Every structure is written in C-alpha cells, then in structure tokens.
C-alpha cells in the first residue's frame, strides 16, 4: 500500500459537507458523518434531523447550556436553529423511510459495487450488535452518502464486489466519500469523481475490491 | 370520571404479573419511565418480555431489571454500548433478543395501536431482519411482511398530565412514548406534574387521554453514560 498521506476523518467530513444543498433536510449517522455539521460551507443552512424526533438541530450545547431532554441520536445535548420542531420517533422514521430527507450520510464497514451497505455488525464481534435507525435511513433517503476510510486498519478494501458483513440495505448507496476518493454508484459501475491529492487512479484501484470506472475527467478532492 | 391518578409508584404497578409484555419509552437518556421501572424491579416480577429501543445504561433504565434477571425476552432496535447487564445475560443465554430496525419497531407498535394486522416494507430486505419473513414484490420493490407488536402494558414518561390522562412531553423526551401509549392494553404514565382537567390547552395535547389508563407523579430520574 503506498505510504502517502490520506485525508483525515475531519477532511472526509469537510468534503462530505460540500454535498449538502442549501435548505436540505439531512440525517447524519454515527462516526465520520457526525463531524460534518462542523464544516458546513458559509451561507448554507441545513436542517439536521435526529431519529429521536428533532428537525433543525444546531451546534452541540456548550457547558452550562445543556438540556438532557434535547439530545441527538448519540445522546449529546444539542441546540436548535430557528424553525426547529419536535415530533415522536414514528414520525422521525416516517421522514427517513418515506423519502422525505434530501440527504442522509452514514458510516460504513463495506459498500458493494451495486451500492449494498454493511454498517451495523462486524462478524464475530462480541455482544448483540444493534441496528438502530440505519436500515430505515438506508431504505428511504433521497440520496445516501457513505463516509468511511477506503480500507480497513489491516489494509483490506472496504469497497467490494459483494459485502461479506451483515447487510444494512441493498442497492441503497449513491455516493461514497473516503480518505482517497469520491465515488458515485452508477448502474454501469463505481464512477470515480475525485481522488485525493497526490494519488493516482491506479493506486486507488489497487486498494479497491471492485472495478472503478470514470465518466470523463477525474478531479482532485477539494475539501476547504 | 374514571380514577386514573394513583397515589404512589408501588400501587400503580401492583397488579403487573410475571410474564407480562411491557413497552418501555425513552431514547438517549431522555424520556425514560425510570421511577416505574424501579418500582417494577422492587415488586420482583419475573419473565418479563420487554419492548424498548435499548437495553439500559449500567444499572439505569432497564439495566436494573437485567441485573436482577427479571427480563426473559427483549424486542429492541439498539441494545446499546452501555447495556452491560443485558449483554451479560445475553451472552449467558438467559435472555433472548429480537433485533428490529428502529422505525419498523415504531410502525409495528403503531400497527398494533391502529388495529392493522401487518404491513409490507422495503426496510431490511436482504438482511438478517428478513429471515423467516414472507417476501413479495409490490410496485416493483422487494418487500417483507412485518407484524404488529402488542403489549399488556406500556410504561411511559411524560412531562404533564391532566387528571383525565391528556399528556404533554418535553423537547426530545417525547421519542417512543406517544407510540407506546397508543399500542398497549394498559398504559401507565409517569409524569412530573398532574394538573386539573381543562388546564392543558386541547391544541397542546400530544397523547389524548383515551390512551392513558394510569397516572402517577414522580420526579424524573436520569442516568448518565
């Protein structure tokens, strides 16, 4: 594996933030996606959705202003932005499943070339595992982005021909943003849109478990 | 008027039998009926089937009942990283688990509340969740059949009740509580404050009194972690 710098988790989040349109209703999952709210481009308002019944979450609450009845899906006290609302969990998931969210961003263990996602259980891991809202979100978001490292800690590809981990959903991923590339899942294959500075497409293909294609020009990942 | 207000926590759970199916509200540390859970644990019931998003935070929330080995089966979406006592019982095969996607957990309870006999969904198709479920294609989409989840009791946490049982909630502590209130045969609400009938603006009622059978006042408990 080439020993070259890759994007940090924060830089992946920063790049993903650029995919969010002004005024969008957006759900952010655990892991890298949870960092995205800190990197919204200036002048953009996004209404962040939480599965426990909040639309319009603002920044995390600072010390002294926390209200533990107003927490996000990770139990962290949050603030609200003007226009926010509360509702119960069934309506929160009616929004995820019913196609009402413009964009959802989830973490991933594996994504297949067909856009299948595995993100809730590592085979052989101890304990019960837990699904949470991931399957509802994967099934229903208008656009599903997965943010993850391109390879496992051991260097194995996380973008694969077929997922071997327990699945979250079939053919649900639209775009994959990793520490090496931005890739769109298209009917004709995994189309590379951008690659990390200093890397070549051939080097990234080496670290990918399914064939990559390009639709014309591939540009350098931009995350500032 | 039917008497719904109970004097204390022990009285309000006194008739709950061993083997009961009980829904428990709460998410992310907010909106848990922790006083009712403690009263049920004190009563010493056994073999409970618990329907809950998660499985406790240390000894808090449902943790206490797993610690005491009072729960035999759980229907949950996300047992959770802090559900120490659940994970111990689960590893020892003293408790069984049905994992359900969170929104489908809501809808299966809502189906029970609404008198529906099931529904088809694309959620979970091709995953472990689909194992053993009927699959069919509707509008060109693969779907699985999900069945209602019924319960004998719902334990819920609300902010305010009037003496008739109309409820309001606070912020995101609402979460699963209104859904469970509608789905169970007997709903018991733990509330911060009980007010006279007529003092909640009808437009502000979140759970109408028809769904609430018992009310008890208790200062809310919260568990960190």
Per-residue pLDDT reduced to its tens digit, A56-95:
999 999 999 999 999 999 999 999 999 999 999 999 999 9
- Contact indicator for B70, B98 with CB cutoff of 8 Å: no
Task: Find the mean pLDDT for residues B210-222.
Answer: 97
Q: Is B205 exposed, middle or buried (0-12, 13-18, 19+ CB in 10 A)?
A: middle
Does B168 touch chain A if contact means CB atoms closer than 8 Å?
Answer: no
| B73 pLDDT higher than 70 | yes
A3 CA to centre of own chain: 25
Q: What is the pLDDT at residue A216?
A: 82
Q: Does the residue A88 lie in any domain?
A: yes
What percentage of residues in chain A have a pLDDT greater than 70? 99
Sorted by sequence, the CB contacts under 8 Å of residue B140 that are 6+ apart come out as: none
DSSP per-residue codes, A118-182: E-S--TT-SS----TTHHHHHHH-SEEEEE--SB-TTS-BSEESS--SPPSBSS---EEE-SSEE
Domain region containing A36: 9-220
| A1 pLDDT higher than 70 | no
Q: Does the residue A27 lie in any domain?
A: yes
Helix (H, G, I), strand (E, B) or coil at B35: helix
Give me the number of domains chain A comprises.
1
Q: Which residue of B has its CA nearest to A88?
A: B175
With CA atoms as reference, report the closest residue to B187 among B112, B125, B116, B127.
B112
Residue A77, min C-alpha distance to chain B (Å): 10
Q: A136 to chain B: which residues are within 8 Å by CB?
A: 101-104, 123
| A161 pLDDT higher than 70 | yes
Q: Does the residue A51 lie in any domain?
A: yes
CA A50, A56, A60, A62 torsion-angle sign: negative
> Cα separation of A79 and A76, whole Å?
10
ipTM: 0.96
pLDDT digits 0-9 by tens, B95-123: 999 999 999 999 999 999 999 999 999 99
CATH number at residue A87: 3.40.1080.10
Helix (H, G, I), strand (E, B) or coil at A64: coil
Q: Does the residue A4 lie in any domain?
A: no
Q: Does the residue A1 lie in any domain?
A: no
Q: Note whether A131 contacts B100, CB cutoff 8 Å.
A: yes
Q: Note whether A88 contacts B176, CB cutoff 8 Å.
A: yes
Q: Which helix (H) or strand (E) holds A212?
A: strand A212-220
How confident is the prediction for chain B on average, in pLDDT?
97
Sorted by sequence, the CB contacts under 8 Å of residue B13 that are 6+ apart come out as: B36, B39, B40, B43, B188
pLDDT digits 0-9 by tens, B122-177: 999 999 999 999 999 999 999 999 999 999 999 999 999 999 999 999 999 999 99
Q: What is the pLDDT at residue A185?
A: 98
Q: What is the pLDDT at residue B127?
A: 97
Q: Please, what are the domains in chain B?
A: 9-118+149-216 (3.40.1080.10)
- Contact indicator for B196, B163 with CB cutoff of 8 Å: yes
With CA atoms as reference, report the closest residue to B52 among B37, B42, B43, B62.
B62
Q: Does the residue A177 lie in any domain?
A: yes
Q: Does the residue A123 lie in any domain?
A: yes
How confident is the prediction for chain A on average, in pLDDT?
95
Q: What is the pLDDT at residue B123?
A: 98
- For residue A100, what are its two tokens? 């009402």
| B18 pLDDT higher than 80 | yes
- For residue B196, what are its two tokens? 């006279």
Sorted by sequence, the CB contacts under 8 Å of residue A100 that are 6+ apart come out as: A25, A94, A140
Interface of A with B (CB under 8 A): 50-54, 67-75, 86-90, 92-94, 96-97, 116, 126-136, 139-140, 166-170
Q: Does the residue A2 lie in any domain?
A: no
> Cα separation of A176 and A191, whole Å?
10
Helix (H, G, I), strand (E, B) or coil at A39: helix
| B1 pLDDT higher than 80 | no
Pairs of CB atoms within 8 A across A/B: 140
Task: Find the mean pLDDT for residues A100-104.
Answer: 97
- Substitution target in B76, B95, B101, B111 with the highest count of A β-carbons within 10 Å is B101
Task: Find the mean pLDDT for residues A126-144.
Answer: 95
Q: What is the pLDDT at residue A224?
A: 64
């Amino acid at each position: 594996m080439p020993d070259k710098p890759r994007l940090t988790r924060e830089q992946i989040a920063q790049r993903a933030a650029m995919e969010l349109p002004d005024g969008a209703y957006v759900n952010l999952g655990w892991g890298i996606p949870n960092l995205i709210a800190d990197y919204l481009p200036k002048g953009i308002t996004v209404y962040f959705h939480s599965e426990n019944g909040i639309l319009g979450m603002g920044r995390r609450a600072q010390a002294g202003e926390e209200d533990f009845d107003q927490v996000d899906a990770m139990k962290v006290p949050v603030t609200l932005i003007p226009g926010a609302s509360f509702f119960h969990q069934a309506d929160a998931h009616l929004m995820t499943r019913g196609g009402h969210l413009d964009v959802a961003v989830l973490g991933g263990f594996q994504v297949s070339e067909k856009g299948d996602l595995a993100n809730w259980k590592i085979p052989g891991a101890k304990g019960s595992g837990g699904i949470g809202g991931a399957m509802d979100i994967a099934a229903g978001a208008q656009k599903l982005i997965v943010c993850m490292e391109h390879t496992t800690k051991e260097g194995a590809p996380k973008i694969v021909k077929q997922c071997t981990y327990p699945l979250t959903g079939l053919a649900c991923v639209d775009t994959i943003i990793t520490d090496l590339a931005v890739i769109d899942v298209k009917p004709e294959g995994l189309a590379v849109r951008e690659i990390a500075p200093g890397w070549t497409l051939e080097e990234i293909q080496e670290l990918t478990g399914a064939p990559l294609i390009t639709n014309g020009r591939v540009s350098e990942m931009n995350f500032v | 008027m039917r008497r719904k207000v109970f004097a204390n926590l022990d009285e309000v759970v006194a008739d709950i039998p061993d083997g009961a199916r009980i829904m428990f509200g709460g998410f992310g540390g907010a909106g848990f009926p922790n006083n009712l859970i403690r009263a049920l644990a004190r009563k010493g019931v056994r073999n409970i089937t618990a329907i809950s998003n998660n499985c406790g935070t240390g000894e808090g929330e449902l943790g206490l009942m797993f610690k005491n080995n009072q729960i035999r089966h759980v229907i949950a979406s996300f047992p959770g990283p802090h559900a120490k006592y659940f994970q111990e019982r689960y590893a020892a095969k003293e408790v069984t688990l049905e994992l359900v996607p969170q929104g489908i957990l809501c809808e299966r309870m809502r189906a029970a509340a609404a008198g529906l006999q099931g529904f088809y969904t694309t959620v979970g198709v091709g995953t472990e969740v689909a194992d053993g479920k009927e699959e069919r294609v509707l509008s060109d989409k693969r779907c699985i059949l999900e069945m209602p989840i019924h319960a004998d009791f719902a334990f819920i946490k609300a902010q305010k009740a009037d003496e008739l049982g109309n409820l309001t909630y606070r912020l995101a502590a609402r979460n699963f509580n209104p859904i469970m209130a509608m789905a169970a045969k007997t709903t018991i609400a733990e509330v911060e404050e009980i007010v006279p009938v007529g003092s909640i603006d009808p437009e502000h009622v979140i759970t109408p009194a028809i769904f609430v059978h018992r009310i008890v006042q208790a200062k809310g408990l919260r568990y960190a972690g």
